[in-house]
Structure 1
């Protein structure tokens, strides 16, 4: 049994002698219980259990049981002794200060029981027990008059743990059972919980207890927790742990413990422990060694003997903390070294941003050490991060490049995880790896190695690998598949056997693939062929793709300048044959050098097929040769025609043609002029227009027999070249004349005459006399496409049509009658003036005769009939008066009213209009001015409508004046008859009644 009486009397005596001491003890216990240790009960019980096991040198075992409102803590290890009782019953006096490795350091941890219990007790199997009681302590304190004032001032609150009492175990069997230490344990702490709130707090602490307990206290091998009969065991299985510890030298104590409490100086030991288990999440706080409020946002548990502030919640700054930060960083790095070198390791690499000052300090020190620490696997062993390289890709791919990239990490290490940067790993992008594939490193790799390399090369980013080397069949190694050719089965077959050219397949020997050699093509070595090359821009080497290759184009262009063009010609003609090209499909082939019948070299486009349809049409003096007979025999006329040799008319076919003088060049006669003419027809644009499909007939300038030529051009397939060209411009599609129809329209191809000077036999009668008759026997729709005129409406709607008509009218040799002329002026009045340039001469009427009047002869447009007598000596443009103003603008000629004054210069007498006139002219004026001799501008005239008044001399003048003023000019003759014989009014009215309904009103 312990001498608890002595301890009680000593404390009571001290309190009695100094009531302030009583208050100090009460306040200190309350501060610890309700402040720094309010939620540390489970941790402090585990700490005491760990220290007991450490003192006894036995495996630590702790069982925490909560049942019926009582918490029992049974542990193995050294039993409670006198020093322990004294330590538990005092504040800030630990009995463990000389014990290296002990968790308890401050002598206040047991105060945590005060927050939940008023009757705690501790019993050891060998030495007995001790208890504390708030009620009994209160009674003893209340019996001391000296303390009555203090007790009253605290509302009866007394320190619980200062006065120990003996545990009586022999009073009853029940009492003995209550304090009995369970079998297998050495000591039992019994805590009857104060109330439901205390029980709920304890239950929460037990449920939250985890591996941090045994990890922070290595002396505890297991912690068993039982709540209402449900048990679980906490252990350190599956945890990776790294521990560093040591003792301070006297010099270090003097330096590092400056300003620290004396009790801490008596424990010159340090320890740092890290623990990690990816499957378990632990509280992100520093343990010192019990949990503090110091945040640590690393995926690992840190337990270290950091100095704490007086509230036991935070690490105290200073040299000792700085020392332990360094040791913690070193231990953490060693922990990482002990872990398996897998990409999961990256999850343990800290970033620079910490949750607090201590967290940030530890991180900075770890990050400083990591780049030089061997952590990462490579083919050459474990490397520090600053010597490692990460490349994205499969392991098979990395194995291929391992000897080219030193320090290469295995697959799975090339993520975008910022931890790689922290470790100092250099990330090598795929494009950089591709750049390394050069020189001696790959020069000795055979084509099959390259094929296996393409099979594992990451292909998510084609741009990054676009420059990957490619071995060619001729032994070269080139950069990038773009521009290379992969032999296809179709081409191999074409080159391995005779092609169907209309000849006997046995007429010429099978073609050797080596035939393509003179073209300088970049053909991929067959052993290196892989589908990836096609994705990266290699072209499948069909006959057509080989022909379209820029190197083939270059070979064709340079063939005429070559000393021996025959190999190139043979290769190209074989490909044309294999591709099945038709004449005009590849116009650039016309530059291919071929032999003529005279033995000279010609461009294919300068050769004719003997007996071909074109040979009979062209001028015999033009510089064309005739294809050599052996070429025709070997390849056939259709192959030579497809290569540009002229059989019939050569046709140029193209697509997406940019109509720009600097871009469009098909070697066509007057092509630039055609482009300029087309651009004049199009609306304004910012981007040059594009012809989606372009078809044109070549060599028109050499034709001599146009009668036969037009027969060919007006029939399919050449007829397609005459159809309008559809051009995309400014977001809309516009039809313009094709090159072929434009060229034909500007040359005398119809019996020596321009198509635009002729009209169809079935054309508009209004064009008779102005245009000649087009030849018969040629399709009329084809004639229209090359410019032969068909109708006045189409002529005026065409570009330049109105000006063309004016030019025809100004031709004095053209025959035009008066009715035809009036209809032509009527049609021209409807033309937008902006489309017409003022003519130098016009067709007009002079004193009844139709003449051609030059502009300086003063022709005028007549807008009113009463002005005619004033300009009878001038050429007159006569059309319906309501169109006069519009026609004046189109022709840029003055109206009569713009060249004469038209003022009435004689005097007359105002007379009433005869009432019978109103029967014909309901809106006639009420009066008119009668003149004996009407003068206008001093000249005698029969009538004038001037300033709202009708002036007239004689019946004819009055009839015209009244009809004009009433807006019924067509009734002027009827009015004249009425004025001469008023008795005829009934008859005239009856005749009017017989007019058709459409004529009324």
Structure 2
């Protein structure tokens, strides 16, 4: 059954006619019903999902536009209904027709969504929507549509309108009422709607106030700045509009660029953008209003052309915030729009130039260090230089074609520029601050121009000289000296930065270290021989040396009795050193000469010494110079002079002391040939040094011996020669210790020739080829003492190799008699008692005991108290049946050879007191 098509007074919009038309269409074409159902489903779950508030707000904005007054919107949930009330033009017949059409709307050119297909967004929350307005209202109903169509299941809700006899709330002209479906969380819904308010107020300028659940937002605009106010916050947006587009960015202390956004047309689309500002543009959209239609590029180009003008609305110091950052686009539209915007920023002027005006990105030069002060100084030097500076600015502006100006390139640009010394000083001030902040490096500024006192400007401070308080005096001094190559910085340009970059202070000590002056000093002797006048240079250097310490000036040419000589080849007149030098060491062709006495009187001795003139023995590190020039008869006095000065005394412990030990002359012999009188332990090997008036500690420092010392093969050869000298009487202990010292020395035996004679253990000197070195103690009983060389334990093999003498164990082959009785150590009561007293473990094995032990060597029998047949600790031990023999065999078997005498005593008297007293 259908309603009458005649419009009744309570049906002002003729909804009955509309319903009749739709129902007839469904009856005439069964597929039409299915198409409408599918179309509405597509709109509900596809194109207009999550766009409820957007679509209703657009309708409210259109109503306000039509009425010509800014609109107000109120949203609340009342009695289970979401109610969206707005001011503006009320619902009319055209609007009702548009609401009930799934495929068309009757929007004007300026309308953004006045009751079009977007109303389908309400189906996300309801199946019974109503629109009430001044002059009438309509309702849609899933239930009533199902009853009117006679269909079951899913039906299109928004095709059949019914009149509604309801009024909107006071102060509002229209209200959309949406009974919420079961399961809809009204609080969550209102929260989500509240989250969209700010974007909608910005995009829809015809909306002035939006209230959601009692919370009110408002929009106001002054000179392109839109203020969006809420109870707990206020946000401002700077906008700039043109024909069909608006650029907008949040502002606080300058613009607050967006990190990511979407294109607004004017409400949000799904086209993601990465621009720092929002674009609200009238562009062709797909019916879903989510994507751009192909061919929308012209509208984007128009918007991009306006972007530089938008940037110019921002204060110059904040404009870089609106330059798109380099990165991958978020969408095809983002890539297209970014490229267009960057092209316009590159070609249109918008960047503030340091010299005034504005330049496009492609014509800009950006200083890569963050220093506005430096930019100001360079404004009239660098064309196209812009005020934004620093690494971030250079990186940001690279995308618009700006040329990055690094510190090194800047220095190149400054080369050849003529400016006053005061301007250069100001520039150095700024650069020093940057250097301290590590914004530039010393390498960057290495070629920085420097104005000189002579009017020139040279590249690079390295080697330049900075005047101090006495700059004019120094300048006069150096001018008279005519030292070429000295670069003297103009006093008004002198700055600490130049010192950091290699310039040197022009104080006396610093001038003395200047490379140019050093070069002049180095060639001064040669120049003097060529006939050049070196007196001015000598006076200049000496005057500087009078005021400051100096070293390394020994090449300075000075006058002497024999002509011009190097300062370090001259001796001061009257110096004590002249008393100890060999007369042949002084003269025209000699290593040294004497400084001209008249010249010497003009200068302090200290200044002359500072430039290298010799007054006494000098030191270079730990070496003492001119020792080789000492007269042989003057060594005692020379040693007293060396000991009198701290530097030379300290140097005696180094190479100089070693040289003196072998080359100085004391009583006709080298110091190392003597011993100190108190070194009695060396008696026989070395003679005591005669009394020569030199302290013992000085004598010891220059090599006079205080004890056995073998430092090198020379020492070893000398000691072996003394041991093999039959005219010397050497005690046996000293002999053993001397041979041990040679054996212990870290020597290359190939550098040491074996001696012809050696000293035996009885003091006899014997030919080396008749001797043997004792390496096993029991062998001493079968070898003549006058042919046996003994040393301290453990040195035998090394000494035999060094002397080229065999070990005794290699020279002796003995036969032991078999008349003894083998007895285990553990069965020898006296042995076990001694072992217990000394806490010695009783070894395994035993000893062959003989009444009398006779060993046969080369057919000759020798009595011996003990023997080890194999020559090893654990070989077969033999001993005569005496405490003396058994003690030695047992001590050797236990590896306690040093205890043999104590063991002997305990075998003779096993009383515990023997071991303790």
Q: 1:11 aligns with which of 22, 34, 44?
A: 22
Counterparts in 2 of 1:779-798, with a 5 A limit? 779-792=695-708, 795-796=709-710
How far apart are 1:565 and its partner, in Å?
0.9
- The verdict on how the C-alpha distance between 1:707 and 1:476 changes in structure 2, with shifts beyond 3 A counting, is farther
* Cα contact 2:446–2:501 (8 A) shared by 1: yes
RMSD between superposed Cα atoms in Å: 4.1
1:619 corresponds, among 582, 591, 594, to 582
Match of 1:821 among 720, 729, 735: 735
CA contact (8 A) 2:60 2:88 kept: yes
1:284 to 254, 261, 278: 261
The match for 1:805 is 719
Match of 1:858 in 2: 770
**Distance across 2 between alignment mates of 1:556 and 1:742:** 34
Q: Deviation of residue 826 (structure 1)?
A: 5.6
CA–CA separation in structure 2 for the residues paired with 1:818 and 1:719:
40
Matches within 5 A, 1:439-518: 439=416, 441-442=417-418, 445-457=419-431, 458-459=434-435, 460=438, 461-463=440-442, 464-489=444-469, 514=479, 518=483
Q: Displacement, 1:30? A: 3.9
How many angstroms apart in 2 are the aligned matches of 1:93 and 1:38? 19
For residues 459-499 of structure 1, the C-alpha deviation after alignment (integer angstroms, 9 at most, x for no partner) is 2323222321222223333333332232333x659969xxx
Given candidates 77, 81, 103, the residue that maps to 2:92 is 81
Q: CA deviation at 1:328?
A: 4.2
Alignment partner, residue 895 of structure 1? 807
Partner of residue 313 from structure 1, selected from 278, 287, 290:
290
Shift of 1:167: 4.0
Residue of structure 1 equivalent to 2:6: none
SS of alignment partner, residue 614 of structure 1: helix
Pick aligned residue for 1:571 from 540, 545, 557: 540
Residue aligned with 1:589, SS: coil
Aligned to 1:377: 352
CA contact (8 A) 1:224 1:231 kept: yes
Q: Does 2:162 correspond to 1:165?
A: yes
Matching residue within 361, 364, 369 for 1:388:
364
Aligned to 1:138: 143
Corresponding residue of 1:680: none
Tell me, in whole angstroms, the C-alpha distance in 2 between the residues paired with 1:429 and 1:912.
99
1:180-195 mapped onto 2 (5 Å cutoff): 182=171, 187-194=173-180
Contact 1:343 1:413 in 2 (8 A): no
- Provide, for residues 867-897 of structure 1, a one-character-per-residue CA deviation record: whole Å limited to 9, x for no partner: 5686659843245788645543453421233
Report the counterpart of residue 552 of structure 1 in structure 2.
517
Residue correspondence of structure 1 range 331-350 to structure 2 within 5 A: 331-336=306-311, 339-350=314-325
Q: 1:327 to 1:858 in 2, by over 3 A?
A: farther
> In the aligned structure 2, how far is the partner of 1:217 from the partner of 1:309?
20
Aligned with residue 527 of structure 1, among 489, 492, 495: 492
For the 8 Å contact 2:865–2:885, the answer to whether it is kept is no
- In 2, Cα distance between equivalents of 1:300 and 1:961: 116
Decide whether aligned partners of structure 1 residues 211 and 395 sit closer, same or farther in structure 2, where only a CA change above 3 A counts.
Answer: same
Tell me if the contact between 1:370 and 1:422 (Cα under 8 Å) persists in the aligned partners.
no
Task: Determine the C-alpha separation between the residues in 2 that align with 1:121 and 1:635.
Answer: 116
Q: Taking structure 1 as reference, are residues 480 and 775 closer, same or farther at Cα in structure 2, changes over 3 Å only?
A: farther
- In the TM superposition, residue 424 of structure 1 has moved relative to its aligned partner by 0.8
CA 1:702–1:122: 2 relative to 1, 3 Å: same
Compute the displacement of 1:787 (Å). 1.2
Deviation at 1:211, TM superposition (A): 4.9
* 2:507 maps to which of 542, 545, 555: 542
Kindly state the Cα deviation for residue 300 of structure 1 after the two structures are TM-superposed: 2.3
* Cross-structure match for 1:686: none
Q: Rate the CA distance shift 1:381–1:998 in 2: closer, same or farther, 3 A.
A: farther
Question: Does residue 66 of the first structure (1) align with residue 76 of the second (2)?
Answer: yes
Please give the per-residue CA displacement for 1:45-64, whole angstroms capped at 9, x wherever unaligned.
Answer: 332334345556x2442333
Counterpart contact for 2:263–2:272, Cα < 8 Å: yes
Decide which moves more: 513-522 or 941-950.
941-950
| CA-CA distance at 1:86 after TM superposition | 1.5
Q: How far 1:830 moved relative to its partner?
A: 5.4
1:407 is displaced (CA, Å) by 0.6
Structure 2 residue aligned with 1:633? 601
The normalised TM-score by structure 1 is 0.74
Shift of 1:397: 1.6
Distance in 1, Cα, partners of 2:862 & 2:337: 120
Quote the offset at 1:323 in angstroms: 4.0
Q: CA deviation at 1:576?
A: 0.9
For structure 1, which segment, 886-895 or 378-387, has the greater mean C-alpha deviation from structure 2 after superposition?
886-895
Assess, with a 3 A threshold, how the Cα gap between structure 1 residues 303 and 722 changes in structure 2: closer, same or farther.
closer
Go from structure 1 to structure 2 and tell me whether the alpha carbon gap of 1:330 and 1:52 turns closer, same or farther (over 3 Å shift): same
> Of 323, 326, 337, which aligns to 1:351?
326
Aligned-partner Cα distance in 2 for 1:398–1:596? 60
Instruction: After TM superposition, give the deviation of residue 388 of structure 1 in Å.
Output: 0.7
TM-score by length of 2: 0.80
The alpha carbon displacement at 1:739 in A equals: 3.1
Q: 2:639 aligns with which of 710, 729, 733?
A: 710
1:25-58 residue CA offsets vs partner (Å, 9 max, x unmatched):
34433432344223323322332334345556x2
Mapped contact 1:288–1:306 kept (Cα < 8 A): yes
- Partners of 2:594 and 2:849 in 1: CA distance: 92
- The CA deviation at 1:837 is 5.7
Q: CA deviation at 1:812?
A: 4.7
Q: CA deviation at 1:537?
A: 3.2
Separation in 2 of the partners of 1:227 and 1:848? 124
- Whether the 8 Å contact between 2:19 and 2:160 is mirrored in structure 1 is yes
Superimposed CA distance per residue, residues 802-835 of structure 1 (whole angstroms, 9 cap, x where no aligned partner): 4442232234554435564345346556556767
Task: Answer whether contact 2:265 2:282 (CA < 8 A) is retained.
Answer: yes
Residue in structure 1 matched with residue 112 of structure 2 by the alignment: 103
**Distance change in 2, residues 1:14/1:411 (3 Å):** closer
Match of 2:190 in 1: 203
Consecutive unaligned residues of structure 1, counting only runs of 5 or more, are 169-174, 246-270, 497-510, 653-693, 725-737, 951-956, 971-987
The Cα shift of 1:384 comes to 1.6
Superposed CA deviations along residues 179-199 of structure 1, whole A, max 9, x for unmatched, are: 3662xx6x4133154268364
Are the counterparts in 2 of residues 843 and 850 from structure 1 also a CA contact under 8 Å?
A: no
Maintained 8 Å contact 1:292/1:312:
yes
CA contact (8 A) 2:145 2:156 kept: no
Partner of residue 651 from structure 2, selected from 716, 722, 727: 722
2:850 matched residue in structure 1: 927
For 2:762 and 2:73, how far apart are their aligned partners in 1? 137
How many Å separate the matches in 2 of 1:643 and 1:473?
28
Q: SS of the counterpart of 1:449?
A: helix
Compute the displacement of 1:767 (Å): 3.9
Distance of 1:341 and 1:865 partners within structure 2 = 103
TM-fit CA distance, 1:930: 7.8
SS at match of 1:746: helix
